[in-house]
């Protein structure tokens, strides 16, 4: 009896990624990575900077427009170059090997450091749900991380299901919080007048800081581009998944802000480090604290899972170009780049155990701002240099929307550099130090190629 292998099985046998994901996964990876604990904390920070309901909503609307501009650039690049490496692929194609090398490694290390930080958040919050876990933050973080790594190692579909389920759970939980806030809480007049709005230069500084907070809260909507080789129809599903995710994220963010402002007087919101927790406590008392903690933990598990999914795919594409060891290109029968996953897991564990992720994240904040700006540059360069390249999706309003997005990204980069000059200078030093490392890697690659021939 003959046995015919399915298309996906043949792909796995060749060591290729499997086209097993559809639009639902595209939505889950973007929403699940973007909506985390930040939206439950950021409104209080922004209310302190801009103590005006109109200004608060204005900054969130502006942040939404900025995210939509970015989605236009990422959608065009992702649909045009549907590969696993995401921004690495775009930067290398448009700006050359060194730009790709730099963007790829910065993206990978930043992904691993943020995954480690979020795993520790899960460890901290777990003690609220299970008091017996108090003092076991690192152990819980390690356990959650290793379980998710194991699931992804066995089969990529398992990682996909974790992403879908955690995303659905967090959306339902936040939706309940919004509805309950409007239905069950009677708004109370503030006993104290809100602080006066800053004026002049102080207003500009407050707007810059508030915008930084909003941009960070929106970060993650573009993660769909890392799965161009695994989506069944990337030319359609990347832009559709990204924009539909953003519409839902924008709606949820605006509704949550409205709910917080409804339930908490503005002068109190401006000093609240965890507005979501305050509303949940007003609604359900101690059970509300536990409910919101559960939502945060589920949200963070989804973000950890997305980091575990994305990190190995960056290495996979870099390995194909011999900008890192070629062993990372191996894909197991479950569709997982297992060697790349092992490398990603080991580096993330090192960050988690050592606590070094905090410094890494501060340094890479400005580098990730450079990465964001470079994606708009990639669209502009490829439009001019390769106008005939197949583009299943074209960024709407080009060139005006693309240049507008680039201007905002550059302004954001300047803001990060002003807010944290020390780590920005370290980042610049890292950029300069990367050049000799890149040259050494290329020299070894070329020598290995010449030896084979």
Give the residue among 376, 375, 374, 373 at the shortest CA–CA distance from 411.
373
Digit-coded pLDDT (tens) for 290-322: 888 888 899 999 999 999 999 999 999 999 999
d(CA 289, CA 274): 11
Structure token pair of residue 309: 């999914």
Q: Is the pLDDT of residue 218 over 90?
A: yes
Q: What are phi and psi of 388, to 5 degrees?
A: -90, 0
Q: pLDDT (tens digit, 9 = 90+) per residue, 32-69?
A: 999 987 888 899 999 999 999 999 999 999 999 999 99
304: helix, coil or strand?
helix
Which CA distances in Å does 93 have to 45, 77, 86, 371, 399? 39, 10, 11, 14, 20
What are the tens digits of pLDDT across the range 354-413?
Answer: 877 677 777 777 777 888 899 999 999 999 999 999 999 999 999 999 999 999 999 888
The architecture CATH gives domain 15-446: Up-down Bundle (1.20)
- 199 Cβ neighbours under 8 A, 6+ residues apart: none
> What is the chain's percent helix, strand, coil content, to nearest 5?
80, 0, 20
Q: What are the boundaries of each domain within the chain?
A: 15-446
Q: Is the dihedral of CA 29, 320, 100, 444 positive or negative?
A: positive
Segment among 159-173, 321-335, 343-357 with least mean pLDDT: 343-357
Token pair in block for residue 150: 């194991």
d(CA 300, CA 115): 9
Residues 145-199 pLDDT 10s: 999 999 999 999 999 999 999 999 999 999 999 999 999 888 876 667 777 888 8
Mean per-residue pLDDT over the chain, rounded? 89
């Amino acid at each position: 009896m003959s046995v015919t292998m399915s298309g996906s099985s043949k792909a796995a046998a060749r060591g290729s990624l499997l086209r097993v994901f559809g639009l639902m996964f595209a939505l889950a990876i973007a929403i699940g990575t973007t909506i985390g604990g930040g939206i439950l904390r950021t409104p209080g920070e922004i209310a302190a900077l801009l103590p005006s309901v109109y200004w608060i909503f204005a900054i969130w609307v502006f942040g939404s427009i900025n995210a939509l501009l970015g989605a236009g650039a990422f959608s065009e690049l992702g649909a045009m170059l549907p590969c696993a490496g995401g921004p690495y692929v775009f930067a290398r194609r448009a700006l050359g090997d060194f730009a790709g090398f730099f963007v790829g490694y910065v993206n990978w290390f930043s992904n691993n450091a943020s995954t480690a930080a979020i795993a520790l958040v899960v460890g901290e919050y777990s003690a609220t749900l299970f008091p017996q876990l108090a003092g076991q933050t690192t152990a819980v973080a390690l356990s959650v991380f290793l379980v998710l790594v194991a699931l992804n190692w066995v089969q990529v579909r398992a990682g996909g299901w974790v992403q879908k389920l955690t995303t659905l759970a967090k959306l339902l939980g936040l939706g309940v919080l919004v509805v309950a806030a409007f239905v069950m809480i009677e708004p109370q007049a503030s006993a104290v007048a809100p602080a006066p709005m800053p004026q002049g230069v102080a207003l500009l500084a407050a707007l810059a800081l508030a915008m930084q907070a909003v941009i960070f809260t929106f970060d993650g909507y573009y993660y769909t581009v890392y799965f161009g080789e695994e989506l069944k129809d990337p030319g359609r599903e990347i832009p559709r998944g990204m924009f539909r995710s953003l519409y839902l994220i924008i709606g949820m963010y605006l509704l949550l802000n409205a709910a917080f402002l409804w339930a908490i007087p503005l002068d109190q919101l401006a000093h609240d480090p965890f507005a979501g927790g305050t509303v949940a406590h007003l609604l359900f008392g101690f059970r509300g604290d536990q409910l919101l903690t559960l939502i945060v933990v589920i949200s963070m598990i989804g973000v950890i899972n997305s980091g575990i999914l994305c990190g190995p795919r960056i290495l996979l594409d870099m390995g194909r170009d011999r900008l890192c060891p070629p062993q990372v290109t191996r894909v197991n029968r479950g569709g997982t780049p297992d060697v790349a996953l092992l490398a990603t897991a080991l580096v993330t564990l090192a960050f988690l155990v050592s606590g070094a992720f905090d410094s890494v994240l501060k340094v890479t904040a400005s580098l990730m701002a450079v990465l964001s700006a470079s994606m708009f540059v990639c669209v502009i360069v490829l439009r001019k240099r390769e106008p005939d390249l197949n583009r299943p999706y074209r960024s709407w309003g080009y060139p005006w929307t693309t240049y507008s997005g680039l201007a905002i990204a550059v302004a954001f980069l300047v803001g990060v550099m002003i807010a944290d000059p020390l780590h920005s200078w370290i980042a610049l030093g890292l950029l300069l130090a990367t050049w000799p490392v890149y040259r050494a890697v290329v020299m070894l690659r070329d020598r290995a190629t010449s030896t084979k021939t």
